[in-house]
Amino acid sequence: MNHSVNEEIIEVSRAGGIGDVLMCTPVLRALKRLKPHVKLIFYADQHECVRGLTYIDELLPFSARSNKAVWLGYEENLRKSEGPHNAQLMASRLGIMIEDVKPDCVIDTDLVGQFQLNWKSLPRPWVVINRRASDWTPNKDWHDSLWLKLIQRLDGLCGVIEIGLPKEGVAKFEGKTFVDLVGRTTKAEMIAAIGACDIHVGPMSGPVHVAAAAGKRSVVIHGGYEYPTGAAYPGNEALYSPVECAPCWLQEPCPHQKKCFSQITVDMVEARIWRAWVSSSACPGSLRAATNNTRQGTQSAELIFGELAAPRVLSTTSRLYVAYRPDSDIMYNRHPELRGLVGPWVENNALNNSGDLPRLYTLSLNIKQIIADGVAGDFAELGVYKGNSAATLAHYARCFGRTLFLFDTFTGFNKKDFAGVDSSRRQQFTDTSLDLVLRNTGIASVVCVKGHFPESVNRDVQDRRYSVVHLDCDLYAPMKAGLEFFYPRLSEGGLLIIHDYVNEYWSGIRTAVDEFCQKIHEGIIIIPDKSGTAILRKSRH
């Protein structure tokens, strides 16, 4: 509905919760700029969020709307396609176009300051989560079991503050750095808590729009309920599952047990949280940040960067500092493919791999050198876990016409290997599967050899030559078997890339490698990545 420029009064209306009301604000803001002398009347609820915005001349309850009020709707376009932002659809109701969709929200700065003071002792980032959307539908909410795992994983690494309304049957969580504000805030306090945080995590609901108004990033767990584009804001991380029934906009309980949300893993959400944090302007030069060593326990450490990062970090016990990326990448753009490879590198293994870019660069640059040197042969990896490094190998295999062979049980350690130096080991790395790996690597140019190595070896892989072999076995027995199998089949000039060589937790790796190198009279080069990769390049005779 178009309004004449000569009209003295324009009335608009919008029902719904905080999110719907806040999405109206960029529309009203633009309208007032176009027609500054018009009296703008807004019929809506959720007045706490918008009362005092200067471009709204009169704020009245939605129930008091007149028949002249223009309804700012967007719902009729939602199932058609991944269209424009909902605010842009609302603007079209008034015959105007907008580009700036950032909402405005009235946030009590005194309350923000109070929350930040209360959280001062918590490690950064301060992550505010709300598990639920609204009573409108149960189909926007991620599974409670996954929420609990995420909270447990973040607790101790960062400040985790939960807001929202209580739900019957949900167990209370108590942790080291967890703050429970569920059911304990007014609406104004809830809005201020979002304004005080570093990162917001939740379903597509009102808090996402509050966070956008406050200039905070959100990790939005969409599932398959609605397209992310309808309420996307710069810097946000969207997790959407394009299952066959998505987007559903279903109000009644989902007949498929919300399989779209089951596809969104804790690892995926956690990876997005850390990515949002390190790319946020709120991430300071020196902070209490999360570090991870799932095998040796979790601890906090100072993240150090700047001109004096190197001497400072070596005088502390910190595990994190900001380092340079290779000039060949930054100055000369020789490795543009890494922009696409870094996602699979961290996707299911965020805390181990997010800070280990040197290892990703090591794999990438050395594989490309092998290709440049004309070394013939396929690629292989023994010890695949979730397919992070395998995704990098698979990319280059496809690029250069090689085949990648992946050797693993795809169910964790085999107990046969718990012997000698590893006799006291317990089962680990069971949280994977062949399907999960292939989702990360893709299936083209990839052959999976499932089973206990070397019994799993077949005639095809026995008869091949290899140019790049990545060994990430963790235990002595499979590492010894891997070296003995692949080295004779490695082309001259080919690479054995061995993970965990300098990682004393997996002491059997170094033992197996040292014993083998003594027999073949070859040496290794050590890479100072997180776990101490070693590289053996087969001599050319």
Whether the pLDDT of residue 398 is over 90: the answer is yes
Would the pLDDT of 7 be above 80?
no
Percent of the chain predicted with pLDDT > 90: 65
The pLDDT of residue 140 is 82
What's residue 42's pLDDT? 97
What phi and psi values does residue 40 have, to the nearest 5 degrees?
A: -105, 115
Beta strands 466-471 and 39-44: pairing type?
A: unpaired
Give the span between the Cα atoms of 461 and 334, in whole angstroms: 33
The pTM of this model reads 0.57
The residues near 105 (Cβ < 8 Å, ≥ 6 apart) are: 22, 25, 49, 50, 191, 209, 210, 213, 214
What distances in angstroms separate CA 324 from CA 8, 257, 307, one per listed residue? 59, 46, 11
Edge to edge, the sheet with strand 404-408 lists: 446-450, 404-408, 378-382, 466-471, 490-498, 533-537, 525-527
Over 80: is that where the pLDDT of 426 sits?
Answer: yes
Q: Per-residue pLDDT for 137 more than 70?
A: yes
109-278 shares its CATH topology with 324-537: yes
Give the residue among 337, 352, 311 at the shortest CA–CA distance from 391: 337
Confidence of residue 311 (pLDDT cuts 50, 70, 90): low
- Answer whether CATH 3.40.50.150 is correct for domain 324-537: yes
Q: At what angle do helices 338-346 and 388-399 cross, to 10 degrees?
A: 150
Query: Contact 305/325 with Cβ under 8 angstroms?
Result: no
Q: What are phi and psi of 450, to 5 degrees?
A: -90, 135
The span from the CA of 366 to the CA of 363, in Å, is 6
Neighbour-count burial of 333, counting CB atoms closer than 10 A to its CB (0-12 exposed, 13-18 middle, 19+ buried) = exposed
Report phi then psi at 116, rounded to 5: -65, -35
- Domain covering 109-278 in this structure, CATH number: 3.40.50.2000
DSSP state of 93: T
**Distant-in-sequence, close-in-space partners of 26: CB < 8 Å, separation ≥ 6:** 87, 91, 98, 100, 101, 102, 103, 104
Taking residues 349-355, what's their average pLDDT? 81
pLDDT band at 297 (very low <50, low <70, confident <90, very high): very low
Sign (positive or negative) of CA dihedral 249, 254, 255, 257: positive
Print burial letters for 471-491: b (CB count within 10 Å at least 16), e (below 16): bbbbbbbbbbbbbebbbebbb
Candidates 204, 222, 211; CA nearest to 134 is 204
CB proximity list for 22: less than 8 A, separation 6 or greater: 49, 50, 103, 104, 105, 206, 209, 210, 213
Nearest by Cα to 42 from 16, 63, 60, 17: 60
Range among 273-277, 339-343, 396-400 with highest mean pLDDT value: 396-400
Q: What whole-number distance in Å separates Cα of residue 237 and Cα of residue 66?
A: 39
pLDDT band at 103; cut points 50, 70, 90: very high
Q: Taking a C-beta distance cutoff of 8 angstroms, is the pair 512, 472 a contact? A: no
Task: Give kind and range of the element (H or E) at residue 297.
Answer: none
Q: What is the pLDDT of the chain when averaged over all its residues?
A: 88
Chain centroid to Cα 506, Å, comes to 28
Delimit the domains of the chain by residue range.
Answer: 9-92, 109-278, 286-320, 324-537
- 296 pLDDT tier (thresholds 50, 70, 90): very low
Helix (H/G/I), strand (E/B), else coil: 239: strand
Q: Count CA within 13 A, CB hemisphere, residue 173.
A: 25
